[in-house]
């Protein structure tokens, strides 16, 4: 998987990396047990500071998407804490749906958008 960052984006670089890795997992470009590049390798290939990559990996570890193995480095390891994930998703969706409501986006439009995006990830 090739990771890229947009240096002109207002989104922090570590968040961009985190999001791309999560999308890679969701689209099966990154699979359970697969090793990510070392912090140094990824930083050099993208042209960013190692601390930025380390922060992205740390956040992914905290969120249960990777585990750190002394021999293999950061490894994709999806945490199965479904209840916690659903609660976090509820909080995120609460704000997103409030914004949609303020912009007069209909329930049908929201559902269609969710279905469209979910299909990109092989919707279960």
Q: For domain 13-76, which architecture applies?
A: Orthogonal Bundle (1.10)
Task: Compute the distance between CA of residue 95 and CA of residue 49 in angstroms, rounded to an integer.
Answer: 32
Cα torsion 45, 48, 50, 55: sign: negative
Q: Please check the confidence at residue 34 and state whether its pLDDT lies above 90.
A: yes
Q: Where are the domains of the chain?
A: 13-76, 82-120
Give 51-61 pLDDT, tens digit per residue: 999 999 999 99
Q: Please check the confidence at residue 124 and state whether its pLDDT lies above 70.
A: no
Task: Compute the distance between CA of residue 7 and CA of residue 28 in angstroms, rounded to an integer.
Answer: 26
Q: Please check the confidence at residue 43 and state whether its pLDDT lies above 90.
A: yes
Give 7-17 pLDDT, tens digit per residue: 999 999 999 99
Using left for φ > 0, alpha for ψ between -120 and 50, and beta otherwise, residue 75 falls in: beta
């Amino acid at each position: 998987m090739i990771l890229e960052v947009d240096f002109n984006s207002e989104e922090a670089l570590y968040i961009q990396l985190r999001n791309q890795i999560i999308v890679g997992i969701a689209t099966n470009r990154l699979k359970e047990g697969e090793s990510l590049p070392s912090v140094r390798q990824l930083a050099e290939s993208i042209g960013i500071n190692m601390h930025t990559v380390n922060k992205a990996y740390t956040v992914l570890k905290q969120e249960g998407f990777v585990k750190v193995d002394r021999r293999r480095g950061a490894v994709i390891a999806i945490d199965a804490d479904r209840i916690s994930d659903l609660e976090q998703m509820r909080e995120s969706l609460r704000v997103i749906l409030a914004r949609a409501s303020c912009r007069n986006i209909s329930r049908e439009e929201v559902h269609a958008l969710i279905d469209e995006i979910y299909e990109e990830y092989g919707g279960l």
